[in-house]
Amino acid sequence: MFRRLRIKLIWSALGITTAIMVPVFLAIYFITTNLTEQRFSELDNKVGLRSEETNDVAKDTIRHEKQAAAKDLLITLILAGVEIEIIVAIVTYFTANQTIKPARDAYESQKLFIANASHEIKTPLAAISANLEAADIHDNKWISNIEKEVNKLSSLNNELLILARNDLVDEGTLDEVDLRALVNDYVKSLEPRLPKIQFTTKMTTHGKVLIVASDFTQLLGILLDNAIKYSDKRIRLVLTNNELTVSNDGTTISKDDLPHIFERFYQVDKSSEGAGLGLAIAKSIAVRNNWDLTADSRNKTTKFTLKF
């Protein structure tokens, strides 16, 4: 995230420098060439007093000199501009590092705190669940409500822990993976959840793909879980060597909600029991791997596209 911010700062500085430098250099070029033109015109007038043959030779010489001077000036300005841009890029790179460092340190400390806190919360939650099971109290709505809320809190805590770890880890290990086999195995594990859903797949992958398999599997699981949760009857998965799409029928996501669905804690369906972290986790995985994850929703069909 901060690397992209640093790159944006560098490009912004270069853009501002270019916006200032181009009109200034153009002004220098035209003013200088005009002054040169005036001076050569004066020489031209003086030459006109000589013989006609000498006059033609001198005029040709003056014309070539003007062209050479203009060309040299243009080359000089271009080289000067390139040098200035390089200097600005280098200076901005180091100053951006210093500017971003406090924010990066605070951000990493925050994520580390969330990861540590989530890890510590797991222990009492596990203890509560174990004690509820040991109590062996059935048909009690109060106990059932407690179990339900504990499960919800455990799920939220796990998602926060995953999100924090995703933000703290820079990159995973690349593996040569047979994506067709990986996706087929994962889809088979979902069969108990698909009794009333028409699930279709189309896979045109060939050979193995170099990818972070654990990240791809986790992101695939989030997209399929989301599709199952919000699908009415149909889910379709399409896989190629560099693209995965997961689409499902159901309610169309409004144009107002669609730009925000990858934000943390954002929920289109406010009555949903989830915490709104699943798609945020998927987006963080995609960003970390330089993949492109987008969503489109129209005609009661929502489609997620992952380009990797």
Among 116, 151, 168, which residue terminates a domain?
A: 168
Among 153, 168, 183, which residue terminates a domain?
A: 168
Same domain, 161 and 237: no
Same domain, 153 and 184: no
Give the H/E segment covering residue 262. none
For the stretch 53-68, pLDDT in tens is: 555 666 677 677 777 8
Inform me whether the pLDDT recorded for 300 exceeds 70.
Answer: yes
* Residue 302 and residue 295 in contact, taking contact as beta carbons nearer than 8 Å: yes
Q: What is the mean pLDDT of the chain?
A: 81
Same domain, 77 and 42: yes
Domain tally for the chain? 2
Same domain, 163 and 28: yes
CA distance 299 to 230: 15
The whole domain housing 285 covers 175-307
Same domain, 185 and 161: no
Average pLDDT value for residue range 253-263: 89
- pTM equals 0.55
Among 115, 145, 168, which residue terminates a domain?
A: 168
Same domain, 133 and 224: no
Higher pLDDT, 36 or 57: 36
Same domain, 159 and 192: no
Same domain, 142 and 226: no
Same domain, 33 and 161: yes
- For residue 95, the model assigns a pLDDT of 84
Same domain, 97 and 29: yes
Higher pLDDT, 103 or 291: 291
Bridge partners (DSSP) listed for residue 247: 236, 303
Same domain, 44 and 153: yes
**In this prediction, what percent of the chain has a pLDDT beyond 70?**
84
Same domain, 182 and 132: no
Report the CATH number at residue 226.
Answer: 3.30.565.10
CA angle 161–167–171, rounded 5-degree value: 115
For the stretch 146-174, pLDDT in tens is: 887 887 787 777 777 777 666 655 566 78
